[in-house]
Amino acid sequence: MPDDSARRILVIDYDDIFRKMLRVMLVNGGYEVQEANSGETGIASYRQQRTDLVITDILMPDVEGLETVRTLVAMDPDVRIIAVSGSNPGWVEEYLKDATAFGARRVLQKPVTLNQLLAVVAEVLAS
């Protein structure tokens, strides 16, 4: 179990299955997890109770991920964000590059493995 076992992570993704899969992986990694099913809900949740890390999808129906990243960084310049996307091949790299430009510390492309997720989470939390 990592030293960061008490660290809280907010997972924002409209895809219930993917969001719950991330939750299980993170909880099994020793983290506390909050979930939001939209960018709007995620922003409100972070505003109410800040977490140590935010993992957000990029393509979402209401407030999409790039706007979510920009809003969170404007609220808290020290926010740690990992952006995730599995959009169309060829476009995903551009979306993830934009997420980094807007303030995401790291990016991941779906599908995400347990080892990959936990390594990137640990890296971002250590920074």
pLDDT of 53-107, one tens digit each?
A: 999 999 888 888 899 999 999 999 999 999 998 766 666 677 778 889 999 999 9
Looking up tokens 């959009």, which residue turns up?
Answer: 87
d(CA 63, CA 120): 25
Strands (E), 18-89: 32-36, 53-57, 81-85
Domains and CATH numbers, the chain: 8-126 (3.40.50.2300)
Provide the whole-model pTM. 0.91
Residues 40-50 have pLDDT tens digits of: 999 999 999 99
Residues 6+ apart with CB under 8 A from 46: 10, 54, 72, 75, 76, 79
